[in-house]
Chains A and B, each alone.
Chain A
Amino acid sequence: MKLAINPNPYVRSPRSTFKIMMELLLGLLVVWLCSIIYYFTKGNAKEGLFAIINVLISVLSCSLVEILFFIPKWKQEANHDIKSLLKKELNSFGYITGIILALLMPVGVAWWQIIICSIVAIVVGKMLFGGFGHNIFNPAIVGRIFALICFNTSFSYGLKDFNGSESINAGATILTEWAGNGWDLHAFNTPKWDVVLGNYAGALGETFSIVLVIVGIILCIRKVIDYRICLSYLVMCSLSALIVGCRTYYPIKFMIYQICTGGILFGAVFCLTDPVTSPTTPLGKILFGSIAGFVTMLIRFRGSSAEGVAYSILTVNMLTPLIDNLLAGRTTDKFKTKAIVIGAISLVFLLISCSYTIGVKQSDPDVNLKPVSKEVVEYHEPSLENLEVYYE
């Protein structure tokens, strides 16, 4: 008779990290599927094919690099069979990094670029720190930033079809185009609902904002990702955009366009919420999200490129230990002070974002107001009707 003396409790929750990660994987697969559908229907056959192949290459190379790292220790184990090696890989979740990395890239990226980026992501971003659970930076974002620095100019967002015909997706993303036009709302070529639905070219995962929102909500409810991070990030981004948008006379439209373009939604759901690289306290998570939102908008309006999401995530990942240090202790201790300080920080961020309005092109209200025909009235936001009354 053996009595186990392992520590209590002897009842454990059936929920495991592996299950959580599988749910996350399911969410990623849904997003991937949507982008495949998009490229096959809106783009051409070649783009659709590459949307599939890119992800597979990335997942394979990430997993292989991780397995290489496991081999030395695995060799020392008593019974080193292939099964135990695969089990190690399954519990290290390199494939999730792989799929996120591929979804962060546009469809026109070359296969060797993906492989280099995934090697950088896994080696520099993850394994050098000690593997799963010890990394400071989100590995997928590390890979993506590497791509931004090294290959960004050679990226194309669309591919020529097999017969040589040009894709509608060729050229820059609508975000960079928009930024190039000084954030002028009238310069948009893409129809309104296509922008909101995410029905435009960009990185693979950025298509279909609505799907991202739905997947995000489901993952939050299933407690796979933390709703505090997503919410505080999105609220910070939208408030900043709302303030800037006041200059364009269409603040709400401007805000929705800002949120739905670029990687904000994908970053909020799949990158920022990576538990390994985010703080653990509830208040810390809120602070983390709002700093990330601030940095995103700062880079978007004041940086050299409009792609601020990846850099902002890397920046806040760096701040995580600091936030955890500042908020050490019980979560209820000095709760009011902490809440006031965090609220004040967020307010300062919003005040700073007022300065972004300089440089944003003022959309001339008169241009839109001239013909008071029925169609135009329908097209405008409800807030405009008040303006019309005012002008009349």
Chain B
Amino acid sequence: MSIFTSMGHKHLHNIHKSKELTYGKEVVTFNPKEVFVPLVDPVNSKPIKLNVAIGDYVKEGTIIGYREDNMIPVFATVSGKIVREENLFHANIGRNVKHFVIENDEKYEKEPPLKILNEDSSREELLQRMIDAAILGHGGAGFPMFIKYRKTDGIDTILVNAVECEPYLSDDHHSLLINKEYVIKGMSLLLKLSGAKQAILCYKEGNPDVDNIYQDISQNNPNLKTYRVKNVYPSGWERHLVKEVLKRTYDRLPSEAHAIVNNLESVVRFAKACYDGQVITRKIVTISGEGINNPSNVELPIYTRGSDVIEFLGGYKYDDVSVSFGGPMCSRGVMDDKAVFLSYTSGLTILPRLKLNTIPCLRCGACTDHCPSYLQPVEIKAAYQGKNNERMMALKPWLCIGCGLCSYICPSKIDVSDFVKKAKMVTSLQLKKQEAMKGGKK
């Protein structure tokens, strides 16, 4: 098919080299003096409902507030006193929002654990635990996980996404190595919850250490399987994963292909929340890249500021760097490194600033050839620059997933994905207008 349509993926040139920066390194523990809890729901940018006030003493796991629309709690991650409110940059929302500052008293007092659940617990209890323990989609969107399990009719497969196709990040790989017990427990729980026939752990090929550990995964439960996906980008994207593992395609949601895709981190946390009654307040993140002195995996309380960790690891290597929360391909760099790690941030990538020699577009079509959404970035760019609205609508840029592959591949070093993003913004507005007009006519 790739003769007639796009290939839809690409092996990144530096993927091995970038991952080796942190593979096999010992995890460092870091405890900041202060943590900064954002008081905003990152999905819809609305303020959260507060449970505590400035001056209160909180423990690890104390509920600071709830997200307004779905009652997902926000936890304090260290014990101490809430000293003040501060405006800080938020990496996901992209502007300054209010944060509570908790002063770390280094006692790490914990709230009592939740009731312990296991495979015999009822479906309602398990679903409620997903809300109570604030289990999110930890791939980077922060969408609540329970939504995927509210309706599970017709689901036959659970895919656990541990692919980590972004360069530099290695926290999922690390988690696979140390959390085998929880991965298997979590997969069994999700099977029970959804009534699916099989759960498949998907990770990248070329990881013999993971192969060794998970070769006996179906020993106790024959429904658990593993699958090694190709080492290409973006093989960790839901749609790509469903297509590669199950050979199925879908229009909008994976449930149309009878599958649910979960991030590895979510599965591990769900297992920990059920079997240990733990609320997760600490996290292992990858701090990596050529722009930092000691790239490593760091265990830290959630809501630590990025700048504190970077200082702890020895600071920046260069004067001019780009810092992004997440991988270097799809996360946009932040203007301010004082933004905090959220519960679903998988890492921090620090790279020296790119000096690109941009020349005019060659129209080689490499972006069209590799777009995982089968779009035509080169044409979208031309239509956006020519302000040709009609043509932009015909090219459907709203289907872009922002993987950044078109910019990566461009031999002329044009920021293609940036143009597509802009065109996406323009056309999404128009699309909404059109739909509203249609609705009005009915």
Contact = CB atoms under 8 A, between A and B. Distances in A.
Interface of A: 1-20, 91, 131-134, 223, 226, 228, 275-283, 285-286, 324-325, 328-333, 335, 339
B362 A332 contact: no
Contact of B353 (A4, A278, A281, A282): A4
Contact of A328 (B319, B364, B379): B379
B5 A329 contact: no
A285 B365 contact: yes
Interface in B405-442: 405, 407-413, 415, 417-418, 421
Please provide the 5 A-B residue pairs with the shortest distance between their CB atoms, ordered closest to farther: A133-B360, A280-B365, A9-B404, A7-B418, A4-B322
5 contacts: A3-B337, A5-B335, A10-B324, A17-B364, A328-B379
B76 interface: no
Contact of A331 (B366, B376, B407, B409): B376
A223 B329 CA distance: 23
Contacts of A280: 363-365, 368, 376, 378-379
Given A7-B332, A11-B351, A131-B360, A282 B4 contact: yes
Contacts of B2: 282
Contact of A3 (B335, B360, B404, B408): B335
A188 B319 CA distance: 72
A281 B359 contact: no
Interface stretch (B114-122, B141-149, B192-200, B391-399): B391-399
Q: Specify the main secondary structure of chain B where it touches its partner.
A: loop
B407 to A, nearest CB: 5
B328 A332 contact: no
B328 A8 contact: yes
B186 interface: no
A152 to B, nearest CB: 31
A19 B329 CA distance: 23
A277 to B, nearest CB: 8
Interface of B: 2-6, 12-14, 18, 167, 316, 319-324, 328-337, 349, 351, 353-354, 356-357, 359-366, 368-369, 371, 373-376, 378-379, 391, 394-396, 399, 404-405, 407-413, 415, 417-418, 421
A106 B402 CA distance: 50
Given A3-B334, A12-B410, A331-B374, 6 more contacts: A1-B316, A7-B332, A8-B404, A15-B411, A282-B6, A283-B5
Contacts of B404: 8-9
Contacts of A325: 391
B328 A133 contact: no
Nearest to A133: B360
A329 B13 contact: no
A275 B13 contact: no
B328 A11 contact: yes
A328 B365 contact: no
B4 A328 contact: no
B362 A329 contact: no
Given A281-B376, A328-B391, A330-B399, A6 B407 contact: no
B413 A12 contact: yes
Contact of A330 (B334, B373, B413): B373
Nearest to B416: A7
Most A CB atoms within 10 A — which of B3, B337, B356? Answer: B3
A345 to B, nearest CB: 15
B407 A12 contact: yes
Given A275-B364, A328-B394, A329-B395, A6 B353 contact: yes
A39 B80 CA distance: 88
Most B CB atoms within 10 A — which of A19, A134, A324? Answer: A324
Given A6-B354, A330-B396, A13 B13 contact: yes
A226 B365 contact: yes
Contact of A8 (B321, B324, B363): B324
Given A282-B4, A330-B396, A8 B329 contact: yes
A233 to B, nearest CB: 15
B422 to A, nearest CB: 10
Given A12-B356, A13-B13, A328-B391, A275 B337 contact: no
A332 B239 CA distance: 15
Contacts of A333: 374
A324 to B, nearest CB: 6
Given A3-B337, A5-B322, A5-B333, A11 B360 contact: no
Given A6-B353, A10-B324, A11-B12, A282 B368 contact: yes
Contact of B363 (A13, A20, A276): A276
Given A328-B395, A329-B396, A339-B4, A17 B333 contact: no
Given A228-B3, A324-B379, A332-B5, A7 B368 contact: no
B333 A4 contact: yes
B321 to A, nearest CB: 7
B411 A6 contact: no
B163 to A, nearest CB: 17
Contacts of B366: 223
Contact of B411 (A7, A13, A277, A285): A13
A12 B362 contact: no
A277 B417 CA distance: 23
A11 B5 CA distance: 25
Most A CB atoms within 10 A — which of B4, B6, B322, B396? Answer: B4
Contacts of B18: 11
B338 to A, nearest CB: 10
Contacts of B405: 9
A91 to B, nearest CB: 5
A8 B319 contact: no
A303 B343 CA distance: 71
Contact of B412 (A5, A17, A131, A278): A17
A223 B364 CA distance: 10
A153 B363 CA distance: 36
B408 A132 contact: no
A339 B415 CA distance: 31
A332 B8 CA distance: 11
Contacts of A131: 360
Given A275-B365, A282-B368, A8 B334 contact: no
A133 B322 contact: no
A350 B38 CA distance: 67
Given A17-B362, A276-B362, A280-B363, A329 B394 contact: yes
A132 B359 contact: yes
Contact of A132 (B328, B331, B360, B395): B360
Contacts of A9: 328-330, 404-405, 407-408, 417
B417 A11 contact: no
Given A17-B362, A282-B6, A331-B368, A3 B333 contact: yes
B362 A10 contact: no
A282 B333 contact: no
Contact of B4 (A4, A5, A283): A283
B364 A11 contact: no
B400 to A, nearest CB: 11
B376 A328 contact: yes
A339 B1 CA distance: 12
A11 B13 CA distance: 9
Nearest to B421: A7
B396 A11 contact: no
Contacts of B417: 7-9
A26 B334 CA distance: 42
Most B CB atoms within 10 A — which of A6, A9, A280, A324? Answer: A9
A332 to B, nearest CB: 4
